[in-house]
């Protein structure tokens, strides 16, 4: 591009960017200084959030309008971020040469360009070993993302960045996708954008490490609220804690509340201070300005926050660690290795909306009818056959959770997360039973709604001894009343039984109770800790189930183990 053409291009782009609008470069790229939103149901349309500055939302910059956001759209493909970064560096070199723009060195300008594709990302001149979070990679399967910190005079660089990135996309076999429509959304209300999939460590030089004095952007607030709520397990728990801190007359010391409910108060407070939500120590904890804004935000967007939190929970179940040991005592018992939906061929009038026309079945019926009539004719409605998917029956999943005093803190929170994950990731009916002292409490019975589940989990309070035998008996009774529906029992315990049921030996009573699991042919999974492996192994062998020994109750590990065992249950 000639220097005068480059100047005209830069002037036109700057004119729209200065007004907070998006501009299309070529036919596939959207450029703005704002956040972009793409609706999967409208792949040829992009929305520019005119009130959400890209630099402030993505990089926490204190000054708006500094970062240029570029999205280049293509067909679903894994475009190499290494190739995009190389193309970006090459584009900088060519721009400086063509425009004779010598305000800074080539390397310095390229240092302030970030790239992200479905294979990863990072600073264009860095190691490019960042951006590997699965949700972040999935979100970029349909476009290449660039972010650049550049002065207005360097706007002509955008032409070279887009051109060279498009060439890389085409060389890697993907098709460029035309952007037909750009919607500039300047509505100050509405639901904030969920940016949790984009949260990931980075080596970007665009990041401002000093937190802004005031957070007013709903997108950034939602991201921080989700980060904080992840430690509390639910949005309602975070909101309750913030209200406890803000209360003029506190019913309970917030520090003691964290220590009792979550086990590691100092670590949680450190994360809340990092997010600039809390200040002070011990009994002198107080909300910052941002903390008070977040409390109001949670009340204003309670429903939207709960929806986004459910997405966060569904994305769990990808542990970094593995169980220490697994013992399978099912003795070849059939537990349904396949969970695929069965299909059957039926008449059109007997099928529902889930079916599809079976071409072989339809032709077969037509051939039989023509043979019987002795003549060939067209296919008639009576010949049409539908391949109908038979929906799998729901499974009664019973989580039998040790709620003795030793489970307080992180362990009981991991168990609650398991209940939420199981409920949100399948159509199964989830029940939660806890056992402590001499009491077995059914907190949730075949939950039908997320609210009912949360209400039940909020009543779980670890205390007392471990009546394991009583818990097993009650769980077997509950599953036995499910009228022959497929069932599954999951036992989560960190110790050995310390409360007897029939004799003076709590361990013997628990082993006797385990016989009922085998007698009722209930698929059984036990998850416990290494110090109690010997007893739990005998218990699981009697119940003819599967035992997993873990170093500690990690949320993602528990979710992954139960998900795998669930896939084995016959449906």
List pLDDT tens digits, range 201-253.
788 888 875 444 343 467 778 888 888 888 888 888 899 899 888 887 777 78
At how many degrees (to 10) do helices 533-543 and 506-519 cross? 30
- Structure tokens belonging to residue 8: 């005209």
Most confident of 247-261, 350-364, 544-558: 544-558
User: Which residues have C-beta within 8 Å of that of residue 104, sequence separation ≥ 6?
Assistant: none
Largest distance between two CA atoms of the chain: 94
At how many degrees (to 10) do helices 289-300 and 235-246 cross? 130
pLDDT (average), residues 416-436: 89
SS3 at position 126: coil
Residue 399: which H helix or E strand, with range? strand 396-402
Q: So what's the pLDDT on residue 170?
A: 94
Residue 437, Cα to own-chain centre: how many angstroms? Answer: 36
SS3 at position 524: strand
Distance CA 197, CA 315 (A): 10
Question: SS3 sequence, 425-477?
Answer: CCCCEEEEEEEECCEEEEEECCCCCHHHHHHHHCCCCCCCCCCHHHHHHHHHH
**Helices of type H across 126-210:** 134-139, 157-171
Kindly indicate the confidence band of residue 189, based on its pLDDT and cuts at 50, 70 and 90: low
- Beta strand segments in 151-254, E: 181-185
Per 3-state DSSP, the chain is made up of helix, strand and coil in percentages (nearest 5) of 45, 20, 35
Q: So what's the pLDDT on residue 166?
A: 95
Distance CA 214, CA 227 (A): 18
Global pTM reads: 0.57
Kindly indicate the confidence band of residue 284, based on its pLDDT and cuts at 50, 70 and 90: confident
Mean pLDDT across the chain, nearest whole number?
85
pLDDT (average), residues 377-385: 90
Per the DSSP assignment, residues forming a β-bridge with 342 are 390
Q: Which residue has the tokens 């972009």?
A: 36
Query: Given a cut of 70, is residue 280 above it in pLDDT?
Result: yes
CA proximity to 430, closest of 453, 460, 454, 462: 453
SS3 at position 136: helix
Q: So what's the pLDDT on residue 214?
A: 41
Q: Which residue has the tokens 């300047």?
A: 186
Kindly indicate the confidence band of residue 467, based on its pLDDT and cuts at 50, 70 and 90: very high
pLDDT cut 90: percent of the chain above it: 35
Query: Given a cut of 70, is residue 337 above it in pLDDT?
Result: no
- β-strands 34-37, 67-73: how paired? unpaired
How many C-beta atoms surround the C-beta of residue 213 within 10 A? 9
Q: So what's the pLDDT on residue 199?
A: 64
- CA-angle at 330, arms to 325 and 333, nearest 5°: 150
Q: So what's the pLDDT on residue 213?
A: 39
pLDDT (average), residues 160-167: 95
Per the DSSP assignment, residues forming a β-bridge with 83 are none
């Amino acid at each position: 591009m000639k220097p005068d053409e480059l100047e005209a291009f830069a002037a036109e782009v700057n004119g729209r960017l200065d007004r907070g609008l998006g501009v299309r470069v070529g036919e596939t790229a959207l450029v703005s200084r704002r956040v972009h939103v793409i609706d999967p149901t409208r792949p040829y349309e992009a929305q520019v959030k005119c009130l959400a500055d890209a630099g402030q939302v993505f990089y926490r910059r204190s000054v708006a309008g500094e970062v240029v956001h570029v999205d280049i759209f293509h067909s679903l493909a894994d475009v190499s971020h290494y190739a995009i970064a190389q193309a970006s560096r090459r584009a900088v070199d060519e721009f400086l040469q063509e425009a004779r723009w010598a305000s800074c060195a080539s390397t310095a300008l390229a240092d302030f360009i970030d790239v992200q594709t479905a294979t990863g990302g990072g600073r264009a001149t860095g190691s490019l070993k960042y951006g590997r979070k699965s949700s972040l990679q999935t979100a970029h399967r349909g476009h290449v993302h660039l972010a650049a910190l550049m002065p207005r005079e360097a706007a002509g660089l955008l032409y070279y960045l887009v051109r060279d990135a498009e060439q890389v996309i085409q060389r890697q076999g993907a098709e460029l996708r035309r952007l037909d429509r750009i919607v500039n959304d300047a509505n100050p209300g509405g639901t904030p954008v969920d940016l949790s999939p984009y949260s990931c460590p980075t080596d970007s030089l665009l990041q401002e490490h000093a937190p802004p004095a005031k957070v007013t952007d709903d997108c950034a607030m939602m991201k921080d609220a989700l980060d904080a709520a992840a430690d509390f397990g639910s949005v309602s728990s975070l909101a309750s804690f913030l209200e406890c801190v803000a209360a003029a007359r506190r019913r309970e010391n917030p520090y003691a509340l964290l220590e009792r409910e979550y086990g590691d108060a100092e670590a949680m407070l450190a994360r809340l201070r990092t997010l600039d939500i809390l200040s002070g120590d011990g009994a002198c904890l107080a909300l910052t300005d941002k903390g008070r804004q977040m409390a109001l935000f949670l009340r204003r967007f309670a429903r939207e926050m709960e929806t986004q939190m459910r997405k966060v929970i569904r994305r769990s179940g990808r542990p970094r660690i593995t169980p220490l040991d697994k013992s399978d005592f099912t003795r070849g018992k059939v537990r349904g290795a396949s969970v695929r939906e069965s299909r059957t061929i039926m008449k059109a009038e007997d099928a529902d909306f889930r079916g599809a026309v079976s071409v072989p079945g339809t032709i077969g019926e037509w051939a039989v009818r023509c043979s019987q009539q002795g003549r060939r004719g067209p296919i008639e409605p009576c010949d049409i056959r539908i391949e109908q998917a038979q929906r799998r029956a729901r499974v009664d999943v019973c989580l039998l959770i040790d709620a003795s005093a030793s489970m307080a803190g992180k362990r009981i929170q991991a168990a609650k997360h398991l209940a939420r994950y199981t409920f949100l990731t399948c159509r199964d009916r989830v029940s939660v039973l806890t056992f402590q002292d001499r009491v077995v409490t059914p907190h949730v019975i075949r939950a039908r709604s997320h609210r009912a589940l949360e209400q039940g989990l909020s009543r779980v309070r670890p205390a007392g001894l471990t009546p394991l035998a009583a818990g097993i008996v009650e769980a077997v009774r509950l599953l036995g009343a499910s009228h022959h529906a497929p069932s599954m029992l999951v036992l989560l315990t960190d110790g050995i039984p310390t409360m007897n049921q029939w004799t003076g030996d709590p361990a013997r009573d628990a082993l006797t109770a385990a016989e009922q699991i085998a007698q009722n042919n209930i698929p059984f999974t036990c998850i416990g800790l290494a110090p109690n492996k010997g007893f739990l192994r005998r218990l699981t062998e009697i119940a003819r189930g599967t035992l997993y020994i873990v170093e500690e109750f990690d949320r993602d590990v528990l979710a992954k183990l139960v998900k795998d065992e669930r896939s084995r249950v016959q449906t």
